[in-house]
Chains A and B, each alone.
Chain A
Amino acid sequence: MSHLLILPVLIPLGTAILLLILRFLPMARRIVIAFAGVSILGVNISVLSKIYKEGIQTYQLGGWPAPYGIVLVGDLLSGIMMMLGSIIAVCALFYSFGYLKEDGQQAIFHPLFFFLWTGTNGTFLTGDIFNLFVMFEIMLMSIYSLLAMLGDKKQIESGLKLISMGLLSSAIFLAAVGGIYALTGTLNMADLAVKIKPHAGHPLVGAVAMLFLGVFGLKAAMMPMHFWLPDVHSSAPTPISAMLSGILIKVGVYAIIRVFCLIFVDLQGAFQPFILTLACITMFMGAMGAVAQTDLKRLLAYSSVSQIGYILMGVGFFSVAGMGAALFYMISHGIIKASLFMAAGILKKMKGTTEMSEHGNMINISPVFTLFFLIGVAGLGGIPPSSGFFMKFQLIKAGLDGAFYLPVFVALVVSLFTLFYLAQSWQKVCLMPQKEEPTIRPSFKLLLPVGVLALLCLVLGFAADPIITLTTAASQQLFSPELYIKAVMGSM
């Protein structure tokens, strides 16, 4: 049995503990962080390539066989999501060195950041529904602390909102797990998929599916449950905003995909109109919220709500093409939104605020910044050379193929608004004259990760083909759950 699959969880966990011990040795911390960041990225690449070549990988924790012990399962979906998370996390780590104060802040930030990374990787890998809950909690606990870390009033307030939301959602999650365990007597997701089949039509199955949709929808900021996101994403420290919008809201979408493509396969048809309606409302209302904002980070946070609507729409088509498009959308949006948030963080560093009226004339102050920001705007707006064009094109195409004309119409109208509010924000920040010149220039340390992500967005646009092949393969794998079940249960 190869131990490769446990490494994406184990390395960040070990690093976090090591960083806590090395609290007072800044130089040693830096070496550990650089080493860990690179090695997690490397491990994720090898995990993804192994999954792609050899099919679904499983790892039994402690050697306990499948339905009784906890298994880690790496299929293409988890591999892709972990890869995306690692790219954004490495950039956010690099960014944090320039963004946070050397001594006190970084010593608290980095261990928590690695705990967060442990949680996200664990969420993507686990094949056990209760372990999913535990991994969610590891992730959420680190987010609570990271959010309130700098202790300014807005952060404390949004921390309060996030924790209340988190506690409520974990209570509902537990209730759902209790319900499904009472029905089937198992927690292993592959085993659940088999054992829930004879109970098709049982009222508890529908109720539990609805509870799961609610919990994961809350984490993904689906419309009636989106209220916490704009406050939290806009007031968090910028590297964390990038992580939150880049990968953490996608964790919710990932869980929805996993649950509905593996356990509640029979309910896909029944939930489809519901998910599509919510997706349409989410993208429309998110965009409406974004148009009204004057603060750049808040605008980006509302835009995240709107984009989650697009991703959920792709999921809601429940077709191979739609799911593939949603996966591509997640990758592309994660990279673009992280780069935009980091760009907003540079503005915050310069003047201490992200109010757009305070900024301006960036085209003369820093042409490089203007260019990176423009790439992000073009990406999210869906303008061709960037990956944003392909993400929208694929989604719309999948919608038209499946004859979902109304959602496609809404998506097209909303994308017009997206382009409008982003172009407007770019114009305000970069072209308009400024009231007073800033004293601080954007530093190289902060510009580099933004540039890397912007470049990735362009690369994804020019070389979209291999990524689309990968996401389509992942989506095909999702729609043949028997592969997943065989990989987990076959190794008994």
Chain B
Amino acid sequence: MKIILPLVIGILFASGTYLMLQKNILKLVLGLALISHAANVILISSGWIGPGQVPILGKDDSIPFVDPIPQALVLTAIVIGFAALAFLLVLSLRVYRDLKTSNIEEIRGQRG
């Protein structure tokens, strides 16, 4: 596991970045989604690699505990990311309807 998780994070970041650099607006959205998932995986992995003190009352040190805080954090982060992503999708749809294109190069109306 110690090697798989960093690999997964790396692949998610790399493919997200690759997708973001494409011209299609939908690929931009997917790329951002992948990158926010990569961040979520980083956050959840911080629960078991660190020397952090787990705030559990009356815990028995002989049994290994996974820190519950990153799990709570990642839940919050997922919800927030979901809301922002949904808004981004709606906005992309609006862009497509208004400008009749999904190519990012063609919707650049503001310059300079």
Q: Contacts A153-B98, A182-B52 known; A160 to B92 CB distance under 8 Å?
A: yes
State in angstroms the CA–CA spacing of A148 and B94 once bound together.
Answer: 10
Query: Which of B55, B67, B81, B91 has most chain A Cβ within 10 Å?
Result: B91
Nearest CB of chain A from residue B78's CB, rounded to whole Å = 10
State in angstroms the CA–CA spacing of A144 and B87 once bound together.
Answer: 8
- Interface residue? B73 (CB, 8 A): yes
- Interface residue? A271 (CB, 8 A): no
- A160 touching B50, Cβ below 8 Å: no
Of the listed stretches A17-25, A111-119, A162-170, A417-425, chain B binds A162-170
Chain A 144-182 against B: per-residue CB contact (8 Å), 1 yes, 0 no? 110010010110111110011011101111110111011
Q: Contacts A159-B91, A182-B46 known; A231 to B110 CB distance under 8 Å?
A: yes
- B51 touching A185, Cβ below 8 Å: yes
- A68 touching B36, Cβ below 8 Å: no
State in angstroms the CA–CA spacing of A133 and B74 once bound together.
Answer: 12
Nearest CB of chain B from residue A178's CB, rounded to whole Å = 4
- Interface residue? A97 (CB, 8 A): no
- Interface residue? B26 (CB, 8 A): no
Nearest CB of chain A from residue B28's CB, rounded to whole Å = 6
Residues of B within 8 A of A174 (CB): 36, 39-40, 42-43, 77
Q: Interface size of B by Cβ–Cβ distance < 8 Å?
A: 45
Nearest CB of chain B from residue A187's CB, rounded to whole Å = 7
- A134 touching B76, Cβ below 8 Å: yes
Chain B 37-66 against A: per-residue CB contact (8 Å), 1 yes, 0 no? 011101111100111111100000000000
Nearest CB of chain B from residue A401's CB, rounded to whole Å = 38
Query: Which of A174, A177, A289 has most chain B Cβ within 10 Å?
Result: A174
Q: Contacts A171-B36, A185-B51 known; A292 to B42 CB distance under 8 Å?
A: no
Q: Name B67's closest neighbour in chain A (CB-CB).
A: A185
- B46 touching A153, Cβ below 8 Å: no
State in angstroms the CA–CA spacing of A230 and B94 once bound together.
Answer: 22
Query: Which of B36, B39, B52, B88 has most chain A Cβ within 10 Å?
Result: B39
Residues of B within 8 A of A159 (CB): 91
- B91 touching A178, Cβ below 8 Å: no
